[in-house]
Structure 1
Amino acid sequence: MSRHGYFEPEESIAYQSGEDVMHTLMTIAARYIGANPPHPPVYRVTRPGPVRKTDDHRYCFPVGELFPGMRQEQKVYAWAKLWSDSEHDFIFHVTCFGPLRIYHNGIAAYGSAIDEEYPALPLLKLKLRLLKGWNDFVLEFSCGQHGSGGLFGTGSRKNKPLHFIVPSLEREGEEGWLYTEPLDAPLLKIPAGPLREEVTGVRWLPRQEESGAAPPKGQLARMYGLSSGMSAYAWTKINGTYCGREPVMISGEAFSPVEFSVDGQLVFRQERAGTFRFELQLSPASHNLTANCLCGEQAWGFRLDPASLALLTPAQDVKGYSGKWLYLGPFQAGQEIDLAACQTMKQTVRSGTDEEVYWRTELQDGEVRPFLENEWFGRWNYPLGVTLYGLLQLGKAGHRPDIRDYVLDHIEFASSRFSYSLWDRARYGAAGLNNQLSHIDSLDDCGSFGATMLLAGQERKLEGAALTAAHIADYILHRQDRLEDGTLYRKVGVSRTMDNTMWCDDLYMSIPFLCRYAHWSGDGKALDEAARQVLLYKKYLYIPERQIMSHVFDVERGQPTLTPWGRGNGWVLFSLSELLTVLPHEHPSFTALLQFYWELCAGYLGLQGRNGLWHQVLTDPESYEETSCTSMFIYSFARGVRLGWLLDPEPYSQAVLRGWKGLTRRSIDKQGNVYGVCRGSSYAFSNQYYKHELSWNLNDTHGIGIVLLAGLEAMSMQDWQVHAPAAERVGTAAKPGSRTP
């Protein structure tokens, strides 16, 4: 770190653009959006089977159940690969049901001790150095005193819900693991790198299609069996290269009745088995081609002649599948479904057997699943809730519909697939996208992002948002753990050390959502609950002699940690300012909440650093200057000045300007990179953890959005100070009859 801060003064955004706040904000936004393009999900083949994910996104290998006759000297191997965008250390979690060895890129990385080979023991942490690109993993299972098998996978189910990929060349792109039957001798060489399965000298499961088998006639009969009165859909696209001047010829053989449609319009019907041929005059563009096939007595499906097949292109690229058709079914013949909606691949549909179904391939048990493989775009988590909040407000204030639409598309990526992700989790053990939204077990999983979703919904109707919002509201209001007095707390944390704790962070994970849900639903009880929670948290976490908040209250010990963590305090004031903005002045809790706001503001004002920034440990000026808490204090002070909450606004107005000046000189460089944002935290009773162990990240999403919001609110404050009548520039919120704009 430079003696001037995180970089040299000449590298700062202030050196480049002076006091132009909007330019600074647009530079930050451009860098973020450019680094996180709006890629769609990646679709992969998954074969449901005994090796599947559990709720914590680790894969379970039930070797003992799969092979109950496995002998003591035999071994079972599992093989997969994992992509890494960079070389870095990563912690995996391991549970041993019996003896287990783990190989990483062909080299032994772990061998279990006998006292670790028991499934009831706490999970083990295994730190490995992932290489950039593909990393091969091989697990070797043996029989032990308590059984055989284990659990292996990500050590961070919330933030890094890793999925492994089948490593062999024959099945390139499929999600999941290969595994062997019990072998009498160890593998002569641990496989690593791109290999064909036959090169390893053993046979891998799940089995691929038997080339010599004689299945029932027709691909749908192989997939769904023969069932009279049922139908199914096949979907592909006609390559636009072949459309335009000349008619497109489609020919082949039907094994049962079939109807072909182009872009939803029926173009050909074959009412019995036999060959067919029809012409299409199409515009020069790609077109959806669907076939609705009725099950026959002895066959079900169709095939196209090679010349016609060559005209087609897959309707959706699916990794691990080289075929051109996707399939959906089975349905009762004549059952109406919204096929166009299904072709968005965002939802399941109820089948003729009263089950929810999704697209699949012709491969044996080869089902299609979407996976989120973007670092940030499309992901649902609480830091991104704040990031998108800032980008949304910037898009509106800066008259940039492209930024606004980027935000709406990100949110809708998640909300439109909410229902699907619940089904995906139920079917496969853990969802391939919406990993937190589909498995809400904390306020972190839902409140922050949900609040931004409700705000974004005022811009346009977001698919799935209403159902998602209702689900979140039910969780916060009725299912989140509470103390006897109703205070929200964490009975079960992400790790056992976090069990039975209350975090001041959780005010932001609940209050803004409750405020916006009250407006969206018309349910005033949600706003009442927001007000009640703030005052309850004050009871447990407020440090009156400092007029600031403790980070955590340990419920088991019955005491606060008394650690004045910067961002934790920022969340509190940020949340309180969001609540005061919408809470009617006549609300019974308004006066108490405004008083609390005054007390906190006074405490934080006195702790602003000499460079205008606040510190990681608020009371320790030797701890690093922290960007996210600085931004939240700027935002909350500026809003208080502008909305008349402060009886003596001048010191806070000056603090806002000093804070913003500090950010642009010490935390934001001329490329729009944001420095000094504390990474996600655990907690401690000692300030030393926050000062020395809890370091900062570059461009951490905990800070990008709130920096944008701070700049916007500072601009609004200054604009109000210029244009508002002098009588309005004093605190009015506490005066009877005053109104919050």
Structure 2
Amino acid sequence: MTTRNPYFDPEESMARQTDGTSVEHVLTTMAQKYIGDHPMHAPVYRVSRKQPIRKGEDHRYVFPGDVLFPPGTTGRKAYAWAKLWSPEAQTFPFSITCLGPVKLYHNGEKRFGSSKDEEGAAAQPLRLPVPLTKGWNHFVLELERGAGAVFGTSNRKNFPYHFLVPSVDRDGEEGWLYTRPTDDPLPGIPAMSVLEAATGAEWLPERDPSEEAAEGEAPGADVFEARPERLYGRRDGYAAYAWTEIDGRLADGEPLALQGTAYGPIRVQLNGVEVLRQNRPGDFRVPIRVPAGIADLVVRSECGSGGWGFRLTGASLAGKLRTPRRAAGAKEPWLYLGPFPAADAVDITDYLTMDALAAPEGEEPFYWRTASPVGFVRPFLENERFGKWNYPLGVTLYGLLETGKTLGRPDILDYVARHVEFASSRFAYSLWDRAKFGAAGINNQLSHVDSLDDCGSFGALSLLADRAIRPLKGVREAAAHIAEYVMHRQDRLEDGALYRKVGVSPSMHNTMWCDDMYMSVPFLCRFAEASGDPSYVSEAARQLLLYKKYLYMSDKKIMSHVYDVAAGKPTLTPWGRGNGWVFFSLTELLTVLPREHDAYPDILRFYQELAEGYLALQGERGLWHQVLTDPESYPEASCTSMFLYGFARGVRNGWLAPELPYRKAALAAWEGLCEAAIDKRGNLYGVCRGSSFSFSNHYYKHELSWNLNDTHGIGIVMLAGVETMKLLEVLGSGRKKEQTIG
């Protein structure tokens, strides 16, 4: 008797639709849904100030007591205030370390007060659940003299939250406000954004006079002055760039007059075309015609005997200038980049994409900034998924890439390429950003690699996209960084097996996870191809055979999820997706491992043994279960897809004999996914969320639940569909454009 589908009514299933088991139809529906749900938004550019409160490497903000309570001050308390956006009402576990007495207020209400045994230099981080409201959430910390605190996210890898300055005066900036030491309590705990003066307190860091002056100007002000010496000092023989955007929609197609005074040699570009070059100080005037839309106006100013900079006058441009890329928190419509040696040949258009770090030879690297000496522009990733670098998204994009190739959909391939390049093009910048500001606002994992999860899966996908779609900026540099980490810095046992000496929590220290085969093997295979060095493929084979030694359950021909190095034994828990990662990785290796390679017979035998074990455990509707050996655990979509993928590849490549049982199992699995895991809207059910580990199957069955549209499964299901299409083509079943099974 077939049990009821635990996820949705059969009428809602993809399989009940006219083309419900047409692989092409399912892939199209799922791909379009994912792309529609996650549009290609650019980074958000925000101003960050040079100030004492900044992020540490764990993405929590450090509130240094010695700086907030400087010598010579007498107040006993200091306050810090910031806000955080939440897209939905949720309880989020924050983390706080109390180096002294601390109180935390959320939306005006006290949420936490430290006790003596929670305070001090040796204090441990405390987990602090806070019920966030949908929208803005205001946080205030009350600190006592001589101490400080560390506060922020408890999950730097998945939720590297950055807080924003909460006042109306500095709307859009990243960071915190804080008070001078005081003996008086705040007149009221702020619970909403208001003018700083309305709080009855004076807030630091102090604003630069230029910002206050800019704020006081009328929107149509007809005078603007750029003085690079305020940012860089007098630098004879150097040049800097000032950049603004002209809103051509307000120009009515009429010529505009660019006029003013240059304090040194200047050059002016409009949309990359030089419209003025003046090699001496003095007045200038040139008519410009701005095309419809937004135009980039860039002024190169060189430091000469009379200084550098320029002054614009006249009403022609008044009200038509805006801050480039809508940099939030900037008070003037100009951003600055420099200083470059004047003799350098600089193509400034290379930097208008805002993904490049300027690094002139012999100079410290730099990036865009505001007119304030303490104002720095930084990109922040605020999309839920697009542009993010993490391992589940590496698999998701792999599925989209293969779907785009198989269906002949350049739009899908372009989406994949742009997601990858969002991250890879900013790789060098993100390393600099982390070094300068404590933690990067973008590429939080790629800029701080300390595990295979951080780098291998997405790194493998990025190399594939770079080869299969188009060359992508930064991919090769990021891949070299990852290869160096995997080969030389990732922890290993004495026999060379990769393992997790330090996990994301103490309970995960000194463990070996079968998941890590997917986090390493596909990347090593792709990097071998990209670098032309076959030793990386040999390393991939070695790792799989080492993991077999530690995690293979020979009686069942399946894998244990984790090996506890400290205990010296495997957990013997047959988690579905963990097994799927190993099986998937074996097929990735077998497609590139030469048959004459010494390890080939052992790798093929390992694959065949696992295939036999998984075949015996296939459940109802063709699906496999969360706990492979427990048919009462929920049917799990991601492991089902990986076993389908592995079987279909094996049949196509002649790795399995006899092949008929595996062919039937693969086709049954696809039907099962369409009937019980994919609904008619392309939603995916039954994908296990990210896991911890346990020696007990109870954890996997009852505590490790599934998520809707989890990125651990979306790409895998699409890859399974692609392999199903290829299998059907080999078998000659159905037409290419209307592959149907059943």
TM over 0.5: yes
User: Judging changes above 3 Å, is the alpha-carbon distance between structure 1 residues 228 and 66 closer, same or farther for their aligned structure 2 residues?
Assistant: farther
Equivalent-residue separation in structure 2 for 1:265 and 1:195 (angstroms): 43
Q: C-alpha displacement at 1:563, in angstroms?
A: 0.7
Unaligned stretches of 5+ residues in structure 1 = 725-741
Q: C-alpha displacement at 1:296, in angstroms?
A: 4.8
Question: Contact (CA 8 Å) 1:331, 1:353: kept in 2 or not?
Answer: no
Question: Contact (CA 8 Å) 1:389, 1:705: kept in 2 or not?
Answer: yes
**Greater alpha carbon shift after TM alignment, 390-399 vs 684-693:** 684-693
Determine which of 560, 565, 568 is the counterpart of 2:578: 568
Unaligned stretches of 5+ residues in structure 2 = 215-224, 735-742
Equivalent-residue separation in structure 2 for 1:719 and 1:38 (angstroms): 34
Aligned length: 719
Aligned to 1:676: 686
Quick one: which amino acid aligns to residue 395 of structure 1?
G
The alignment status of 1:401 with 2:400, answered yes or no, reads: no
User: Judging changes above 3 Å, is the alpha-carbon distance between structure 1 residues 286 and 65 closer, same or farther for their aligned structure 2 residues?
Assistant: closer
Aligned to 2:610: 600
The alignment's TM-score, normalised by the length of structure 2, stands at: 0.94
Listed as ranges, the matches of 1:97-246 within 5 Å are 97-143=99-145, 147-210=146-209, 218-241=226-249, 245-246=253-254
Equivalent-residue separation in structure 2 for 1:170 and 1:72 (angstroms): 28
User: Judging changes above 3 Å, is the alpha-carbon distance between structure 1 residues 214 and 676 closer, same or farther for their aligned structure 2 residues?
Assistant: closer
Task: Report the RMSD for the aligned CA atoms in angstroms.
Answer: 2.1
Question: Contact (CA 8 Å) 1:330, 1:353: kept in 2 or not?
Answer: no
Question: Contact (CA 8 Å) 2:74, 2:182: kept in 1 or not?
Answer: no
User: Judging changes above 3 Å, is the alpha-carbon distance between structure 1 residues 214 and 590 closer, same or farther for their aligned structure 2 residues?
Assistant: closer
Quick one: which amino acid aligns to residue 390 of structure 1?
G
Secondary structure at the aligned position of 2:732 is classed as: helix
**Greater alpha carbon shift after TM alignment, 367-376 vs 331-340:** 331-340
Q: C-alpha displacement at 1:467, in angstroms?
A: 0.7
Question: Contact (CA 8 Å) 2:101, 2:147: kept in 1 or not?
Answer: yes
Secondary structure at the aligned position of 1:502 is classed as: strand
Aligned to 2:716: 706
Percent identity between the two aligned chains: 58
User: Judging changes above 3 Å, is the alpha-carbon distance between structure 1 residues 374 and 279 closer, same or farther for their aligned structure 2 residues?
Assistant: same
Listed as ranges, the matches of 1:691-702 within 5 Å are 691-702=701-712
Q: C-alpha displacement at 1:265, in angstroms?
A: 3.5
The alignment status of 1:62 with 2:64, answered yes or no, reads: yes
Aligned to 1:490: 500
Secondary structure at the aligned position of 2:111 is classed as: strand
The alignment status of 1:587 with 2:597, answered yes or no, reads: yes
The alignment status of 1:248 with 2:249, answered yes or no, reads: no
The alignment status of 1:419 with 2:418, answered yes or no, reads: no
Equivalent-residue separation in structure 2 for 1:627 and 1:600 (angstroms): 18
Aligned to 2:557: 547
Aligned to 1:258: 266
The alignment status of 1:312 with 2:314, answered yes or no, reads: no
The Cα offsets for residues 413-449 of structure 1, whole Å up to 9 and x where unpaired, read as 1111111111111111111111101111110011111
Secondary structure at the aligned position of 1:182 is classed as: coil
Q: C-alpha displacement at 1:368, in angstroms?
A: 0.5
Secondary structure at the aligned position of 1:231 is classed as: strand
Aligned to 1:504: 514
Equivalent-residue separation in structure 1 for 2:317 and 2:374 (angstroms): 23
Equivalent-residue separation in structure 1 for 2:678 and 2:98 (angstroms): 46
Q: C-alpha displacement at 1:599, in angstroms?
A: 1.1
Q: C-alpha displacement at 1:256, in angstroms?
A: 3.7
The alignment's TM-score, normalised by the length of structure 1, stands at: 0.94
Moved over 6 A (4+): 70-73, 211-215
Q: C-alpha displacement at 1:266, in angstroms?
A: 3.1
User: Judging changes above 3 Å, is the alpha-carbon distance between structure 1 residues 430 and 306 closer, same or farther for their aligned structure 2 residues?
Assistant: farther
Quick one: which amino acid aligns to residue 378 of structure 1?
G
Equivalent-residue separation in structure 1 for 2:92 and 2:265 (angstroms): 54
The alignment status of 1:452 with 2:461, answered yes or no, reads: yes
Q: C-alpha displacement at 1:285, in angstroms?
A: 5.0
Question: Contact (CA 8 Å) 1:226, 1:297: kept in 2 or not?
Answer: no
Equivalent-residue separation in structure 2 for 1:623 and 1:52 (angstroms): 46
Quick one: which amino acid aligns to residue 297 of structure 2?
L
Q: C-alpha displacement at 1:691, in angstroms?
A: 1.0
Quick one: which amino acid aligns to residue 564 of structure 1?
P
Q: C-alpha displacement at 1:250, in angstroms?
A: 1.1
Question: Contact (CA 8 Å) 2:68, 2:181: kept in 1 or not?
Answer: no
Q: C-alpha displacement at 1:282, in angstroms?
A: 4.8
Question: Contact (CA 8 Å) 1:64, 1:70: kept in 2 or not?
Answer: no
Q: C-alpha displacement at 1:15, in angstroms?
A: 0.8
The alignment status of 1:287 with 2:295, answered yes or no, reads: yes
Equivalent-residue separation in structure 1 for 2:685 and 2:630 (angstroms): 19
Aligned to 1:475: 485
Q: C-alpha displacement at 1:284, in angstroms?
A: 4.2
**Greater alpha carbon shift after TM alignment, 386-395 vs 293-302:** 293-302
User: Judging changes above 3 Å, is the alpha-carbon distance between structure 1 residues 211 and 544 closer, same or farther for their aligned structure 2 residues?
Assistant: closer
Equivalent-residue separation in structure 1 for 2:581 and 2:365 (angstroms): 41
Aligned to 2:221: none
Aligned to 2:81: 79
The alignment status of 1:12 with 2:34, answered yes or no, reads: no
Question: Contact (CA 8 Å) 1:218, 1:299: kept in 2 or not?
Answer: no
Secondary structure at the aligned position of 2:419 is classed as: helix
Quick one: which amino acid aligns to residue 654 of structure 2?
G
Q: C-alpha displacement at 1:194, in angstroms?
A: 1.5
Question: Contact (CA 8 Å) 1:616, 1:625: kept in 2 or not?
Answer: yes
Q: C-alpha displacement at 1:715, in angstroms?
A: 1.8
Question: Contact (CA 8 Å) 1:329, 1:357: kept in 2 or not?
Answer: yes
The alignment status of 1:334 with 2:335, answered yes or no, reads: no
The Cα offsets for residues 298-342 of structure 1, whole Å up to 9 and x where unpaired, read as 653222225144233333210111321111112233332231111
